[in-house]
Structure 1
Amino acid sequence: MSRPISITIDLDAIRQNFDYAHTVGNTASGNNSQTLAVIKADAYGHGAVATARALANKANLLAVSSIEEAVILRQNHIRSPILLLEGCFCASELSVVDDLGLQIVIHSQEQIHDLLSAELSKPINVWLKLDSGMHRLGVPLTDSLGVYQTLSNNQNVSSIVLMTHFATSDIPDHPLGIQQLDNFKIAVAAISQSKVRIPTSLANSAAIMAIPDSHGTWNRPGIMLYGISPFDQQNTLALPLVPAMQFCSKVIAIRNVNAGDPVGYGASWIANKPSIIATVAAGYGDGYPRTAKSGTPVLINGKIAPLAGRVSMDMLCVDVTHLDNVLVGAEVELWGKQLSVNEVAKWSDTLGYELVTRMPTRAKRIFINQ
C-alpha cells in the first residue's frame, strides 16, 4: 500500500474556468477578445501538458515563461501556438523559436537587437511589451513608437501585439492601475495614429474580472484557470470558479494528550485541556506550507479542524477533540473543492499562487475528466 497522499487535478474544472474567463472578458467590455491560456510553471502546478490537452479545442494560444517549457509541450505533441512571456534569454534561442514555431515577447533593447540580427526561416509573431508603470519589464513608453516602427519594418517580424502588465489589478481602484491603463492607451494611440486597430493585450486574471476597460484583443487568464481567486481578500469558493486541484491525504495515527502536553517540533503547541490529536500523512516535503500557523483549517471527514503545532517534512497534526469518530484512515482535504487554497495561504503568510506552483513531484497526481 502506498503513502495515502494525492493531488487530484480536475481538467473539466480548468475547462469551465477557461469558459468563464472568456465570457467575462467579452461580455463585460463588449469587445470581441480572444483568450489565451497561461500555463507557465507547469500550469501553476497543475500539469502543463495535461492542461494544454484539456484546452486544445478552447484556447487559441498557450503562454509559458521559457523555451524549456515550450519544448516540453512540443515533445508531448502539443501543436497549439505558444507564446514565450519572457521572450528569449539569449540570441541562440531564436533558432529554437524558429524551429518550433513560437511567438515571443520583446521587452528590452537586447532582445530587439538579437531579433533584428537573426537569420530565420520565416518571420515570427512578436508581442511588444511596454512598461506602463510596473517598472519590471518592458520598453519605456517614450521609446515605444520608434521601437514599433523598427520592428514593423523588419523582415523577421510577422505581426505585433502591444502588451503591458498591471502591478495592482488585484487591488480594485488602486491609482496605479488607472494610471497604467491611461499610459498604455496613450502609447497605443500614438503608435496607431490613423492606422487600422493594433492588437493589444493587458488583462490578466484580476483585470479580466475587475477592469473591463483593460480587455483587449487578447486576454491572459492565469490563476483563475485553476479555480483560484486572484484577489487576496476574496474567497475563491464565493466566486464562479471551480478549484481544479484537490490536495488530500489520510489520518495515520490518533492519540490522546493531556492538558499541558506539547505536540510537534519546538513544542510550540500546548494542549490547554485533554485533547485528541490526529496525525496526517502530509508535510512540507509534499508541498504543505511549513509556515502554516496553528489554527490553520484542515478538513477531516468534511469537517473543519485546526492545525496543531509545526508542520513536519512528512506529517502534520490536527486537533480533532471536537469531532466525532475520527479514526485512522479518515479522509483529509488540505485544500481543494471545499477548502480554498487561498485560506490556507492566508494562515501561512503567502499566496495561493505560491502554494500550488511549488508542489513537489513525490505526491502522486491523478488527472480526472480528461
Structure 2
Amino acid sequence: MRDARVLLNAKALTHNLHRVREYAPHSHVLAMVKADAYGHGLAFALSALQDADALGVAFFQEARDIRALGNTQPIVVIEGAFSLEEWIESSKIGTQCAIHQERQLEWALQHIIPNATIWLKVNTGMNRLGLTPEQTITAAEQLRAAGYQLILTTHFANADEPDHPINQQQIDTFLTLKAQLEPIQVSMCNSAAIMQWPELHLDWVRPGIMLYGSSPFADHTAQQLNLQPVMSLKTRLIAMHQIAAGVTVGYGARYTTTRPTHLGVVAMGYGDGYPRVVDHAQVSINGQLIPIIGRISMDMLTVDLTDLSTSPNLDDEVVMWGGEISVDQIAAAAGTIGYELFTRLSMRPVRYITQ
C-alpha cells in the first residue's frame, strides 16, 4: 500500500479555537470553514468547532453543505447571495448573508425577511468587495427601516503587516462609520488582526488560518503563537539507491550530486498536492530533517539520505509537513502561503482523524 496520508487532529483544532477565545474573550467567534474548512474537510472541522458562535463560508452552496451534515450552528455567507433565489433560500436554512453591492441590497429590500441579520460590508481600503462609506450609510438606513438587524464589517488588506500605512486608514474609516451608525454590532478582525489589535476585537472576530494551526505572519511561527498543527501530511520511503558524485537526479537534470549520495525515493508528488515548485525544502525521517533534491514529480520526490545519523529502512515514515516541519516552511519554499497548500491537496492521500 502506498500509504500517502493526511492526519487530522481534532484536539489541535479545538485548542486553536480556544486560543482565539484567549485573544478575544469578550467577542463572538465566527469560525471560517470555507473551502472545505481550508482543505481539512468540512465534516471533520464542524465536529471540533462546536464551541464557535457561528460558521463562516464564502458562498451559498457551502452553507447548504453544512446543513446537509446536520449542523445547526448559525452560518454567515461572506460573499452573500448570488441571486434573489439564494437570498430567499437563506431564510429557510437559517443563514446570515453579507451585502456588499447594490444588487444584493435590492434583493433584501424586494423580499424582506423580518428580523434577519445582515452583515453589511464596507470597503475601507481592500478594494475588493464592499459598499463605499456613503453607500453603507444609505443602505443601513433602508435595511433598518425594513426591520433587519445589522452587523457592520470590513476586511483588512495588510493585517499581517502591522506597520503598513493602509491599516490605520482602514481602521479610521471603519471606526468613523461605526460611530455614525451606532448602535450597531461590528466585526473587523481576521486571524492576524485578532493577534495584533485587541482594541479592535469588538463584537465579532473572524479567525481563519489560525484555527488550522498556521501562522498568519511571516516573522512568527505557529509554535511561537501557541497554535497546534491540525494537519500532518505523511508518506513512506519506497526506494533507496547509492549514486556517484557528478550525476543528475530527476526531470530536467536540474540537480547534480557533489558527492557519493544515498538517494531516497518518497511516495509523494504534485499529484498529491505537494508543490512542484519547492526550492530548498526538507522532509523529516526518523525525526531528522533531510533535503529534497531534484524536481518534484507527479507521484514521487527524491531526498538525500546521506547525512542521516541512523540508517533508514524501506517503508520508514516520511513527514512532509506537520510536527517538526510546519506547512508554513514548505509554503515559503514554494513561494506561497500555507492557505494554498492546505486547499490544493488532492484526494489521493487518505484522510485519517486522530484525537
> Normalising to structure 2: TM-score of the pair?
0.97
Structure 2: stretches of 5+ with no match in the other structure: none
Q: CA deviation at 1:180?
A: 0.5
Counterpart for residue 52 of structure 1: 46
Superposed structure 1 runs of 4+ greater than 4 Å apart? none
* Cα distance in 2 for residues equivalent to 1:267 and 1:233: 34
* Cα distance in 1 for residues equivalent to 2:224 and 2:247: 38
8 Å contact kept, 1:64–1:82: yes
Q: CA deviation at 1:119?
A: 5.8
State the number of aligned residues. Answer: 354
AA aligned to 1:20 is R
Please tell me whether residue 40 in structure 1 is matched to residue 64 in structure 2: no
Please tell me whether residue 153 in structure 1 is matched to residue 145 in structure 2: yes
Alignment counterpart, residue 134 of structure 2, candidates 142, 153, 178:
142
1:90-120 deviation digits (Å, cap 9, x = unpaired): 1111122121110011100011011111265
Counterpart for residue 21 of structure 2: 22
Percent identity reads 38
AA aligned to 2:179 is A
8 Å contact kept, 2:112–2:146: no
Counterpart for residue 187 of structure 2: 201
SS of alignment partner, residue 344 of structure 1? helix
AA aligned to 1:93 is E
SS of alignment partner, residue 318 of structure 1? strand
8 Å contact kept, 1:106–1:128: yes
SS of alignment partner, residue 284 of structure 1? coil
Please tell me whether residue 312 in structure 1 is matched to residue 297 in structure 2: yes
8 Å contact kept, 2:31–2:206: yes
Q: CA deviation at 1:143?
A: 1.9
AA aligned to 1:184 is F
8 Å contact kept, 1:53–1:78: no
Please tell me whether residue 99 in structure 1 is matched to residue 96 in structure 2: no
Please tell me whether residue 112 in structure 1 is matched to residue 105 in structure 2: yes
Counterpart for residue 29 of structure 1: none
Question: 244-253 vs 230-239, which deviates more?
Answer: 230-239
Counterpart for residue 341 of structure 1: 327
Q: CA deviation at 1:237?
A: 2.4
Structure 1: stretches of 5+ with no match in the other structure: 27-31
Q: In the superposition, relative to structure 1, how do residues 119 and 216 fare at CA in structure 2: closer, same or farther (>3 Å)?
A: closer
1:180-229 deviation digits (Å, cap 9, x = unpaired): 1111000111122xxxx311000000000012222110000000001100
8 Å contact kept, 1:81–1:101: yes
Q: Equivalences for 1:125-204 in 2 at 5 Å?
A: 125-155=117-147, 157=148, 159-192=149-182, 197-204=183-190
* Cα distance in 1 for residues equivalent to 2:143 and 2:269: 50
* Cα distance in 2 for residues equivalent to 1:210 and 1:101: 32
* Cα distance in 2 for residues equivalent to 1:314 and 1:331: 16
Counterpart for residue 291 of structure 1: 277
* Cα distance in 1 for residues equivalent to 2:103 and 2:284: 51
Q: CA deviation at 1:123?
A: 4.1
8 Å contact kept, 1:49–1:78: no
8 Å contact kept, 2:117–2:150: yes
SS of alignment partner, residue 302 of structure 2? strand
AA aligned to 2:300 is M
AA aligned to 2:5 is S
Q: Equivalences for 1:224-243 in 2 at 5 Å?
A: 224-243=210-229
1:55-112 deviation digits (Å, cap 9, x = unpaired): 11x1110001111111111111011111101001111111221211100111000110
Counterpart for residue 74 of structure 2: 81
1:269-325 deviation digits (Å, cap 9, x = unpaired): 1101110111000001111001112x2111111110001011111111111110131
* Cα distance in 2 for residues equivalent to 1:22 and 1:360: 32
AA aligned to 2:219 is Q
SS of alignment partner, residue 241 of structure 2? strand
SS of alignment partner, residue 161 of structure 1? strand
SS of alignment partner, residue 223 of structure 2? helix
SS of alignment partner, residue 122 of structure 2? strand
* Cα distance in 1 for residues equivalent to 2:184 and 2:344: 37
> Normalising to structure 1: TM-score of the pair?
0.93
AA aligned to 1:51 is A
Counterpart for residue 60 of structure 2: 67
* Cα distance in 2 for residues equivalent to 1:49 and 1:88: 23
